[in-house]
Structure 1
Amino acid sequence: MNIISKLGIAAVLPAALFLNITYVNKLPAKVVNSLNMQDSSYSKTDLFDQNTQPKLISKQFEFTEGPAADKEGNVFFTDQPNNAIWKYGLDSKLSLFSNTAGRSNGMYFDKQGNLFTCADEQNEIWKFDQSGKRTAIILSGVNGRKFNGPNDLWMDGKGGIYFTDPYYQRSYWTRTQTELDGEKVYYLPAGKKEAMLASSELQKPNGIAGTADGKYLYVADIKANKTYRFTITKDGLLTDKQLFTDKGSDGMTLDDKGNVYLTGNKGVYIFNADGQQIGLIAIPEPWTANICFGGKNRDMLFITASKAIYTMQMKVRGYSKNASRQL
């Protein structure tokens, strides 16, 4: 059984996710940055140099996920089946950050350099200090019931946390069914101890990311194979749900031009702010899970894909919101 099946991903992805995407047949393991999409304000070389290719860094893992960059640009990511968080440093070296990671998935750094993770071993949100020590369990459930399994998260400028809570049955769980009614998006306001419901409108929310100005939140519904954009109100609620694109996603990130990066079975799909696909970075792995911007200048795209991690030099940068994680 491959790792995607072991993690419960393939079992829940609809056939449409694999069949209803328009792309070039038999894409090579290289960058495709012009797919005859609708015209946009970007030329084919605005995102990356035409000759740039994704660089394989390592293929030593079982299933990589959750990349997040600290304020220096070091990238941290998870090897979820092996219960580990790794660091890819500015020196291009790999080092183990934690080997008791709570099966962490999505991750995010706050302004103080603490790492928040979706630790779905016990369906919780964890906090790590800069040494790799877990310092707190931030959340473990809502209304007295355990979460399904927090999957990915994004932190706003106030320190509030938005996170998705889909249900993927894990091989390491003892439970066999959810305690909650539905798979939802939650928001934990800064300084609060109870999460509030942000959205119950999606079938299986997964990838999540917000804009630099904090006005909009993108959430992927991987089961419905769609990504939506919500308006964020002053009190943190989500309103004005709008279809962004007919493509779901596992992970998500934005660059400083407002382009949105989604992931899936062919690699990294790039959309402009109007929802028009403007590029594809093809990755030669069974599943591309997640991405973030890192590096000293925030212009390195870091890609987690099945057993591997890749980097790619970009002409755009991830935005630096509060010197926090690069999206």
Structure 2
Amino acid sequence: MKQHTATKMAEDFVFLEGPKWHGDRLWVSDVFDHKIWCVALDGSRELVCEVPHRPSGLGFHPDGTPLVASSKDYRLYRIEAGQLVEHADFNGLVAGDVNDFAVDRAGRAYVGNFGYDYDGGAPRKDTDIHRVSLDGRIEVAASGLAFPNGMSILDGGRTLVVAETWACRLTGFDLSGDGQLSNRRVFADLGHRAPDGICADAEGAIWTACFNTGEFIRVLPGGEITDRIAFDGFGVSCTLGGRTGRRCSARSLAVHPRNWPRGDARRRFSALPSRSPPLRKALRRAPPGAFDRRMQRMLPVSGGFPQAGARYS
């Protein structure tokens, strides 16, 4: 197993989530500062818009229109000219925060949710993945998932993989041309590791953040782990990207607070610079009480990684 190390990229965020590489920049949701940012490889950034009810997962329609999951008002929004435009309303359909998602070639979004009131301490409950069409129509795509979290589409759009966090596994589905999910199977049993955000590379492997161990690991179908980035704390999310997406000069980023922000308290963290693409970003949380000052950093991780996977992942 290859081990990788990290160095700093950019700074002064609160808590980052939902990383996606698009248009030569890294898009991230700053959950507790209620903002979406674009970050360049030199660490400079541009504010895209504000999302009052906690931005989470990010994605893009085939025409490049950005999408954001708004956790606390249970909605998916398009971002048009810097403004939020409602795309889908999950109220009455979900019992927990709207979270991460993946977008297929036709622009259909496959959206997960917590399944229960996580912040309120409700007992865990299995939930659905919902499919949202280009016109905003919502349908159940799959049921009975244990906290469906990060998702990625691979195999040229023929497979969807979702992280079932509380089941400690990556679950695969066949994805048909009309957006149906079938042939549910275990892509990888991760044992004691609880996967959070994920992304796919061009070789069909999945990079996953491990919520309970602080690791970021590259997993092949069947469960073999080939690469590892280790941190203390909790693993949150990851993405692949860069200007070229070519292997051999890869960098990855880990964004992590050294303490968990409580409620919507607006804290500042440090953050962090990559030297060359492709960019693989991973986000990390450390446990509460670790440090008095709450810090967040983005860390590019060196290594000869495979290039990013399919465009819609």
Match for residue 66 of structure 1?
18
Instruction: Measure the CA separation in 2 of the matches of 1:186 and 1:145.
Output: 9
> 1:263 deviation in Å?
0.5
The letter for the 2-side match of 1:57 is: M
Q: How does 1:1-327 map to 2 (within 5 A)?
A: 34=1, 44=2, 53-58=5-10, 60-70=12-22, 72-100=23-51, 102-129=53-80, 131-134=81-84, 136-141=85-90, 144-145=92-93, 148-167=96-115, 169=117, 182-191=126-135, 193-247=136-190, 248-264=194-210, 265-284=213-232, 286-298=233-245, 299-306=278-285, 307-313=296-302, 314-321=304-311, 327=313
Q: Root-mean-square deviation (CA), in Å?
A: 2.5
User: Cα–Cα, structure 1 residues 137 and 278, in superposed 2: closer, same or farther, change >3 Å?
Assistant: same
> 1:289 deviation in Å?
0.9
Q: Secondary structure at the match of 1:81?
A: helix
Q: Any stretches of 5+ residues in structure 1 without a counterpart?
A: 1-33, 35-43, 45-49
User: Cα–Cα, structure 1 residues 320 and 241, in superposed 2: closer, same or farther, change >3 Å?
Assistant: closer
**CA deviation map 1:66-120 (0-9, x unaligned):** 00111x3200111211111122114431333223353111111223222111111
**CA deviation map 1:137-175 (0-9, x unaligned):** 111126x5456321101010111111111236476xxx9
> 1:176 deviation in Å?
8.8
Contact 2:76 2:86 in 1 (8 A): yes
Q: Secondary structure at the match of 1:235?
A: coil
Instruction: Measure the CA separation in 2 of the matches of 1:280 and 1:101.
Output: 35
The letter for the 1-side match of 2:284 is: A
User: Cα–Cα, structure 1 residues 64 and 208, in superposed 2: closer, same or farther, change >3 Å?
Assistant: same
Contact 1:150 1:165 in 2 (8 A): yes
TM-score of the aligned structures, taking structure 1 as reference length: 0.73
Instruction: Measure the CA separation in 2 of the matches of 1:183 and 1:84.
Output: 27
The letter for the 2-side match of 1:128 is: I
Q: Secondary structure at the match of 1:57?
A: coil
The letter for the 2-side match of 1:311 is: P
User: Cα–Cα, structure 1 residues 176 and 302, in superposed 2: closer, same or farther, change >3 Å?
Assistant: closer
The letter for the 2-side match of 1:166 is: F
The letter for the 1-side match of 2:301 is: M
Match for residue 11 of structure 1?
none
Q: Any stretches of 5+ residues in structure 2 without a counterpart?
A: 246-277, 286-295
Which aligned runs of 4 or more in structure 1 are off by greater than 6 angstroms? 175-178
The letter for the 1-side match of 2:308 is: G
Q: Secondary structure at the match of 2:307?
A: coil
The alignment covers a number of residue pairs equal to 264
Q: Secondary structure at the match of 1:148?
A: coil
Instruction: Measure the CA separation in 1 of the matches of 2:73 and 2:114.
Output: 14
> 1:304 deviation in Å?
2.0
TM-score of the aligned structures, taking structure 2 as reference length: 0.76
Instruction: Measure the CA separation in 2 of the matches of 1:237 and 1:280.
Output: 33
The letter for the 2-side match of 1:309 is: M
Match for residue 23 of structure 1?
none
* Percent identity of equivalent pairs: 19
Contact 2:207 2:219 in 1 (8 A): yes
Contact 2:163 2:169 in 1 (8 A): yes
The letter for the 1-side match of 2:36 is: I
Instruction: Measure the CA separation in 2 of the matches of 1:212 and 1:219.
Output: 14
Q: Which moved more, 1:308-317 or 1:274-283?
A: 308-317
Instruction: Measure the CA separation in 1 of the matches of 2:169 and 2:225.
Output: 13
Contact 1:64 1:305 in 2 (8 A): no
Instruction: Measure the CA separation in 1 of the matches of 2:46 and 2:116.
Output: 29
Q: Secondary structure at the match of 1:242?
A: strand
User: Cα–Cα, structure 1 residues 230 and 270, in superposed 2: closer, same or farther, change >3 Å?
Assistant: same
> 1:230 deviation in Å?
0.8
> 1:177 deviation in Å?
7.3
